[in-house]
Amino acid sequence: MSGATEPAPAAAARLTGQPAAVVAGRSGAPAELRLGDGTVVVAKRADRPGAARAEAAGLRWLAAAGTVRVPAVRGADESWIVVDLVPTGPADAGAAERFGRDLAALHAAGAPAFGAPPPGGPEDASIGGAPMRNATGPDWPRWYAEHRVLPYLRIAVDHGTVRPAEAAVVERVCDRLPALAGPAEPPARLHGDLWNGNVLWGADGDVRLIDPAAHGGHRETDLAMLRLFGCPHLERVLRAYDEAAPLAPGWRARVPLHQLFPLLVHTVLFGPGYAAQAVSAARACLSAM
């Protein structure tokens, strides 16, 4: 049976070596399942070839830093990933401050290079439902333009979602990235898709991160994505982060620069509404010079 047609309980049983049954009242996708030992897990079918393997490698890489917690990976292959379910609770200020400090420590764990995939992870990975290539580069401005901003801009132009005149604004930002990027920083260990939906406030008071698009990048990119899509107690998170690992002067002014990448990804996936936001972000970058 192919991964595309295999039922979630069968996939989970094959990957974990335990019988798996759907939790009563929890039908849907991803599937919540109870394993033979009583552990409740989530089984998710990959939306792109290799996406499950990339997600599993990313979770293990983040876990290896011993900082922000992630759900344990019970098994993964090219089509499926099975991870522990995270019982959630309310977001509180103390958890937000711990999250800020732990996120700073995660970033400080580092990566071999900008664009480096997690150990065992594929170069051709994904972010959400979009492809994301983890090709490495020696410096962040050139790498960010070549491997994060411009690929999605070209797709958006080809689809007619971004007009040529609007694309020219984004291209000007890429041309000026060395002047816009701020002080050079070493590659950070990024979650890579750090929007609010991937930040789970655990019932035990600890944050867990899920669904990474992990790679080596600039730490301000994760923080900019948190701001783009909102996060409970965000200012507490950022303040605790900055106290643990002070950010370079001007980092708030660089938020639109780091938001270009996720905005263009969303433009490719979801259309013109995000295109307008991406172009506005590009204009904000240029006006800040």
The structure tokens listed for 149 are 């901003």
User: CB neighbours of 136 closer than 8 A, spacing ≥ 6?
Assistant: 112, 113, 114, 115, 116, 143, 216
Task: Name the helix (H) or strand (E) containing 35.
Answer: strand 31-35
Distance separating alpha carbons of residues 247 and 50, to the nearest angstrom: 34
User: Would you list the DSSP string of 178-224?
Assistant: HHHS-S--PPEEE-S---GGGEEEBTTS-EEE-S---EEE-HHHHHH
Residues 41 and 71 sit within 8 Å (Cβ to Cβ): no
Task: Quote the CA–CA distance of 9 and 185 in Å, as a whole number.
Answer: 45
Q: How far apart are CA 283 and CA 289, in angstroms?
A: 10
Of 226, 229, 283, which Cα lies nearest the Cα of 257? 283
Amino acid occupying residue 104 = A
Decide the pairing of beta strands 31-35 and 40-45: antiparallel
C-alpha 284: how far from chain center: 23
Identify the active-site residue in 193, 204, 206, 211. Answer: 193
Closest CA to 185 of 242, 107, 256: 107
Q: Is 242 designated active site?
A: no
Q: List residues with catalytic annotation.
A: 193
